[in-house]
């Protein structure tokens, strides 16, 4: 049995609340004492009955602790991986025993799901990392702290340990406000915004007419979402009228499909986006034959996670990575230039 603050992999830990801990949520109290366990992991342990006090099992992550209260946390050994490891090629940008940074190609699904039970990034990571993966969530599988849509390419970091998962999750939750995390996406979009720089502040929620889509909403149920953009280049049609642009986006929040929905909301949907840019299909007629061929060859939304920077969860060192436009996006940009 381990007492006090420690970096946890597995085992039984006893911790005692001090005066300053009085009134704190149980999950927050444990997270502050046991380094290396994310709050989501701690909440799962509590709900699974693996946290107890003097009065018995504690099952509510939000219950308040009292000064002097002793809490025992039982962290099980990680179970074997649920998804199977597979020999899927990965473009590894950086790797150590704490994390791995991947340059994800378009078309690669991150998590196994209905219709995508194999060949995913998770399968590839289990196959690549083997026993170096720790027990994220009590299961030996990589800790996905952020995702990219299947057809969005670019940089993605994955935690190998609970400690790395907790730190990276915290950094992503701050969305760069504290300066530790930086992310930049590059898109090729229809039209050109009226300003070279802008801020899109529009809440998002599941569409009421199509549950597979996200939509801008004014309903109270909408989730706050903010995207900042900068126009990098503009492309005119044969008549000299603005037709498309290359645009960089940074996020204050990380909502599903956020960039795709926000750019469509201001009238500049991403080229090739079959979900949020379908109403711009008529604009294809304005493209040159070369640009039409490049857009057809792209076959997906022209969105790329081009920059990722963060603080290393163990050393505190600043890590920064950049990924050039994939060849199919670069070809489209060149064709649009004429």
- Give me 72's structure tokens: 């025992």
Does 192 lie in the same domain as 247?
yes
Beta-bridged to residue 188, according to DSSP, are: 246
Q: Is 149 one of the annotated active-site residues of the chain?
A: yes
Give the pLDDT of residue 135: 53
CATH number assigned to the domain comprising residue 146: 3.30.2350.10
CB 185 within 8 A of CB 305: yes
User: What pLDDT, on the 0 to 100 scale, is given for residue 275?
Assistant: 93
Higher pLDDT, 251 or 113: 251
Residue 82 belongs to some domain of the structure: no
- The number of folded domains in the chain is 3
Phi, psi of 97 (to 5 degrees): -75, -5
Using the predicted structure, report yes or no on whether residue 296 has a pLDDT greater than 80. yes
Say which range, 140-149, 178-187, 230-239, 278-287, has the weakest mean pLDDT: 140-149
Question: Which tops the pLDDT comparison, 72 or 111?
Answer: 72
Q: What is the CATH number of the domain that holds 36?
A: 3.10.290.10
Spatial distance between the Cα atoms of 237 and 191, rounded to a whole number of angstroms: 10
Please list, in sequence order, all residues whose beta carbon lies within 8 angstroms of the beta carbon of residue 185, skipping any fewer than 6 positions away: 154, 248, 249, 250, 251, 259, 303, 304, 305, 306
Catalytic entry in 21, 27, 103, 149: 149
Q: Are residues 143 and 32 in the same domain?
A: no
- Rounded to whole angstroms, the Cα distance separating 11 from 1 reads 7
Residue 229 CB partners (closer than 8 Å, separation 6+): 193, 197, 198, 199, 200, 247, 248, 249, 263
pLDDT, tens only, 20-72:
888 899 998 998 888 767 787 888 889 888 999 988 899 898 999 999 999 99
What single-letter DSSP state applies at residue 335? H
Q: Which of 150, 174, 198 delimits the end of a domain?
A: 174
Strands 153-159 and 182-190: unpaired
- pLDDT, mean of residues 327-332: 98
Q: Which pLDDT value is given to residue 280?
A: 82
Q: Is residue 33 part of a domain?
A: yes
Q: Pairing between strand 56-57 and 51-53?
A: antiparallel
> Has residue 11 been placed in a domain?
yes
Same domain as 244, residue 160: no
Neighbours of 299 (CB within 10 A): 12
Residue-level pLDDT at 195: 95
Cα gap 260→249, rounded to integer Å: 10
Q: Is residue 240, in this structure, part of any structural domain at all?
A: yes
Q: Which residue has the higher pLDDT, 4 or 299?
A: 299
Q: How many CB atoms lie within 10 A of CB 206?
A: 16
Instruction: Note down the domain range covering 45.
Output: 2-75
Q: Are residues 234 and 309 in the same domain?
A: yes
Q: Is the pLDDT of residue 248 over 50?
A: yes
Task: Please say if the pLDDT value at position 194 is more than 60.
Answer: yes
The pair phi, psi for residue 112, each rounded to 5°, is: -60, 140
Residue-wise pLDDT for 116-160, tens only, equals: 668 888 888 888 887 666 555 455 556 788 889 999 999 999 988
Residues 232 and 297 in one domain: yes
Tell me the DSSP string of 253-310: S--TTHHHHHHHHTT-PBTT-TTTSGGGGGGGGGS-HHHHHHHHHH-S--EEEEEEEE
Asked whether residue 50 falls in the same domain as residue 107, the answer is no
| Whole-number percent of the chain with pLDDT over 70 | 90
């Amino acid at each position: 049995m381990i007492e006090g603050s420690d970096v946890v992999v597995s085992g039984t830990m006893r911790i005692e609340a001090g005066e300053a801990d009085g009134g704190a949520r149980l999950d927050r109290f444990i997270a502050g004492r046991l380094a290396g366990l994310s709050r989501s992991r701690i909440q799962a342990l509590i709900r699974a009955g693996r946290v107890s006090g003097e009065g018995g099992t504690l099952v509510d992550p939000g219950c308040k602790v009292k000064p002097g209260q002793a809490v025992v946390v039982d962290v099980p050994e990680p179970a074997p991986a649920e998804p199977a490891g597979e020999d899927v090629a990965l473009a590894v940008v950086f790797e150590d025993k704490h994390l791995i940074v991947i340059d994800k190609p378009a078309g690669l699904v991150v998590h196994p799901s209905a219709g995508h039970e194999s060949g995913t990034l998770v399968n590839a990571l289990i196959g690549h990392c083997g026993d170096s993966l720790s027990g994220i969530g009590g299961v030996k599988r990589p800790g996905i702290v952020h995702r990219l849509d299947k057809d969005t390419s670019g940089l993605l970091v994955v935690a190998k340990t609970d400690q790395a998962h907790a730190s990276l999750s915290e950094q992503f939750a701050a969305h760069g406000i504290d300066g530790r995390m930086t992310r930049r996406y590059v898109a090729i979009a229809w039209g050109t915004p009226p300003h070279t720089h802008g801020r899109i502040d529009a809440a998002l929620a599941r569409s009421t007419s199509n549950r597979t889509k996200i939509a801008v909403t004014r309903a109270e149920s909408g989730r706050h979402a903010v995207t900042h953009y900068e126009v990098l280049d503009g492309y005119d049609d044969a008549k000299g009228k603005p037709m498309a642009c290359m645009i960089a986006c940074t996020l204050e929040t990380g909502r599903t499909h956020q960039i795709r929905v926000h750019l469509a909301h201001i009238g500049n949907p991403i080229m090739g986006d079959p979900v949020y840019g379908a109403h711009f299909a008529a604009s294809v007629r304005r493209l040159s034959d070369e640009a039409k061929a490049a857009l057809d060859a792209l076959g997906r939304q022209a969105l790329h996670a081009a920059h990722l920077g963060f603080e290393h969860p163990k050393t505190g060192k600043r890590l920064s990575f950049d990924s050039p436009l994939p060849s199919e996006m670069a070809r489209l940009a060149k064709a649009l230039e004429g």
